[in-house]
Homo-oligomer: A and B are copies of this chain.
C-alpha cells in the first residue's frame, strides 16, 4: 500500500515534472491532482498540454483535476508546484487544514520558521517544523526546497562547510527548462546567452546562507559568509552549471577537499531513501567535466557533479558544479524532502 499524494499545480511544467518523477515511486502514488478553476473538473489529459518528453503517463491521464482547495478527498501529503502568484495562499490553506505541504515554490522559503532543505546538507533544519506549527497554529506544515540553481551550489559546498566558508563568488550557466513553459523564447536564446534571470541572483545568495546555516534548536542561524551570484541563461535544455570560487578559513589542501567530497554522506544516504543518490556529490577527474548534457541525467538526475578543482588566484579554490535543475533542483528535491520526512515520522 503506497502513500497517496497530491500535486498542487499539477498541470504546469513543474507539476508535470512531479508526475514524471513519481512514476514507479516505491512509497508514493499520485492519486490527486489540483490546478486552477479553469482546469478543475476536467480529466488531467484534457486539462494539460504535456510538455515533457514522451506523452502523459497513462496512470495519471484519467485522474480528474480538482481545485487547489483542501477537501476530504485530498491526501495528507501534498507536493506544491503552484505558481508564485498564488502559492502563498494555497499552501497556507492546506497547511492550516492539516496537510503536509512539501513545496517547490519560492514563497515560504525564507520564512524564519520554514525549513529550506537540501537533505544531505541540513536535514536537521526539519527541527523548525514544531516551531512552525506552534507559531502559526497549523495542524499541518510547510517544508521547502531551494531554487534550482541554489541546489547545485549548496550540495557542492556541503562537504566544504567544515573548512569554514567565508566568501563565495559564482557565475551560473542555466538551462532553459528552468524557466518553465513557454519560458525562454527561442529568439532570445538560440546561439546566444542572456546574462540575466530576474530575481535569481538574490535568491541564490540568500538561500545559500540559510541552507548552510546552523539550526540552534530555536532558529536557523545563517552562514556568516558573503555570497555573490551572477546568473546567465544558456542554450542547454537541462542542467544548471555553476562556476564557483570559494574562500575557506581553514585553508584545506586539495587532497583534504577531495577527501571531504568523496566521503560526503548525508541523512538520505544513511537512511537509504529511495530517491537518494548513493554518492551525493560526485567528483569527476576529466578536465572538461561535468557537462550538462552528458552528466545532469546520471544518477536519476539526483546527484551533484563537481569537477575542475584548482587554486583560485583571488579566493582559495575554484571548481565547477552541476545539478539537474528540474529533478534535483525541483521535483526530485521535494520528493527527497518528503522521503526524509517520512522516515522521521513527520508524515504520520
**Which residues of A line the B interface, CB within 8 A?**
51-55, 167-169, 171, 173, 176-177, 181-196, 198, 205, 226-228, 230, 232, 234-237, 241, 243, 245, 284, 287-295, 297-298, 307-308, 312-315, 318, 320
Contacts and interface: CB of A to CB of B under 8 A. Distances in A.
A54 B294 contact: yes
Given A195-B308, A291-B195, A190 B318 contact: no
B183 A237 contact: no
A186 B195 contact: no
Given A195-B288, A227-B313, A297-B53, A187 B237 contact: yes
3 closest A-B pairs by CB: A171-B171, A182-B185, A196-B288
Contact of A181 (B187, B205, B243, B314): B187
Contacts of A187: 51, 176-177, 181-184, 237
B293 A192 contact: yes
A99 to B, nearest CB: 31
A278 B176 CA distance: 33
Contacts of A243: 171, 195, 230, 232
A237 B98 CA distance: 47
A235 B184 contact: no
30 contacts: A53-B293, A53-B294, A53-B295, A53-B298, A54-B298, A167-B314, A171-B171, A171-B230, A181-B187, A182-B185, A182-B187, A183-B185, A184-B186, A185-B185, A190-B190, A190-B237, A191-B292, A192-B291, A193-B236, A193-B241, A194-B288, A194-B291, A195-B307, A196-B287, A196-B308, A205-B313, A228-B312, A228-B315, A230-B318, A234-B235
A234 B237 contact: no
A292 B181 contact: no
B53 A190 contact: no
Most buried by B among A52, A187, A307: A187
A293 B295 CA distance: 17
A101 to B, nearest CB: 27
Nearest to A308: B195
Given A173-B173, A177-B187, A187-B183, A193 B294 contact: no
A205 B292 CA distance: 26
Given A168-B314, A315-B169, A235 B191 contact: yes
Contacts of A192: 236, 291-294
Contacts of A315: 169, 228
A201 B171 CA distance: 15
A189 B191 contact: no
Nearest to A311: B228
A241 B243 CA distance: 14
A3 B284 CA distance: 33
